[in-house]
Amino acid sequence: MIQQFKSKVVSNKQLTEDVKLITFTCPDDFTFQPGQFASIILEKDGETKLRPYSILNPPTEKGQLEIVFKLVPEGLCTPILFEANEGDEFDLKGPMGRFLLDEKSENKGHWFIANGTGVAPFYSMLKTFLSKYPMKEFGLIFGVRHVKSLFLHENFIALDKEFDNFTYIPTCSRENWEGSMGRVQEHLPDDLSNKCFYICGLKEMVEDTRKLLDDKGVDKSNVHFERYS
Ligand SMILES: Cc1cc2nc3c(=O)[nH]c(=O)nc-3n(C[C@H](O)[C@H](O)[C@H](O)COP(=O)(O)OP(=O)(O)OC[C@H]3O[C@@H](n4cnc5c(N)ncnc54)[C@H](O)[C@@H]3O)c2cc1C
């Protein structure tokens, strides 16, 4: 059920130079499915504006709602979020969205492909489904430009260590480091059969990856996506 509620900032943590993680309060009966988003409601020049943000935490964490967001300096919402302090109040609405794990799929694997803050819905999904589906394989390809832009990296490494059914592939497109390099599309598994793919982030990456999967013969029914722009 979609709810609209007043929410307070519990904390606003800097993760990288331009990415922060805000924890908001939410009603105890607020429920959602991993992959869904909530919208922040703002007023500008007498008009109501909504900005959607994927919910980062798993639904089992009641009474709180976390988002990660990237500062868009000329934007409407993110400069306000970036400066938000503990106790500040926002109007929120949610949950919404159909970017969900295909739990009915008989495919063996679920592969998540993200750039930047597009990784958020996958964190919620992994925290929920890795233990629920131990016989399924999960993969996360997380692309950023520079190593310093990787966030939640330690959390994903910890999940990779804890769960044999999870492979974490962070990749940097503009920096040499000890990990993978290049764009996310370059790190897709060799065998694309028997897998569902979920792509989330900026439009160009989402469209390029969808096209690549299509060119390689992956059926559209196995490709799910959420575009942030
Ligand atoms: C379903 C959904 C879920 C989303 N979840 C998240 C999330 O979890 N985290 C998150 O950070 N964003 C997320 N977004 C994007 C978010 O809703 C806003 O669009 C974004 O934060 C910019 O908002 P703003 O009001 O600051 O900028 P706006 O006033 O909306 O935009 C100002 C200008 O910046 C451009 N712009 C917008 N976003 C970006 C960007 N990321 N990089 C560069 N330029 C940009 C716009 O095209 C516009 O020209 C999501 C979008 C959708 C549709």
Q: Measured between alpha carbons, how far is 216 from 190 in angstroms, rounded to an integer?
A: 11
pLDDT-derived band of residue 76, with 50, 70 and 90 as boundaries?
very high
Expressed in angstroms and rounded, the spacing between residue 229 Cα and the centre of ligand 1 is 6
Expressed in angstroms and rounded, the spacing between residue 193 Cα and the centre of ligand 1 is 33
Expressed in angstroms and rounded, the spacing between residue 228 Cα and the centre of ligand 1 is 6
> What share of the chain has pLDDT > 70, as a percent?
100
Expressed in angstroms and rounded, the spacing between residue 77 Cα and the centre of ligand 1 is 8
Q: State whether the beta carbon of 117 lies less than 6 angstroms from ligand 1.
A: yes
Q: State whether the beta carbon of 195 lies less than 6 angstroms from ligand 1.
A: no
Closest atom of ligand 1 to CA, residue 120? 8
- In the chain, the N- to C-terminal Cα span, in Å, equals 26
Report the pLDDT value the prediction gives residue 102, as an integer from 0 to 100.
98
Report the pLDDT value the prediction gives residue 219, as an integer from 0 to 100.
98
Q: State whether the beta carbon of 74 lies less than 6 angstroms from ligand 1.
A: yes
Q: What is the mean pLDDT of the chain?
A: 98
pLDDT-derived band of residue 215, with 50, 70 and 90 as boundaries?
very high
Give the predicted TM-score (pTM) of the model.
0.98
Residue ranges of domains in the chain, CATH in brackets: 3-96 (2.40.30.10), 109-227 (3.40.50.80)
Report the pLDDT value the prediction gives residue 197, as an integer from 0 to 100.
98
The CB-side HSE value for 219 (13 A sphere, CA atoms) comes to: 8
In this prediction, residues 135-155 reach a mean pLDDT of 98
Report the pLDDT value the prediction gives residue 24, as an integer from 0 to 100.
98
Report the pLDDT value the prediction gives residue 9, as an integer from 0 to 100.
98
In this prediction, residues 77-85 reach a mean pLDDT of 98
pLDDT-derived band of residue 4, with 50, 70 and 90 as boundaries?
very high
Closest atom of ligand 1 to CA, residue 226? 1
Q: State whether the beta carbon of 67 lies less than 6 angstroms from ligand 1.
A: yes
Closest atom of ligand 1 to CA, residue 121? 8
pLDDT-derived band of residue 107, with 50, 70 and 90 as boundaries?
very high
pLDDT digits (tens, 9 = 90+) for 160-212: 999 999 999 999 999 999 999 999 999 999 999 999 999 999 999 999 999 99
Report the pLDDT value the prediction gives residue 60, as an integer from 0 to 100.
97
Report the pLDDT value the prediction gives residue 212, as an integer from 0 to 100.
98
Element at 78 (helix H, strand E): helix 78-83
pLDDT digits (tens, 9 = 90+) for 37-69: 999 999 999 999 999 999 999 999 999 999 999
Closest atom of ligand 1 to CA, residue 78? 26
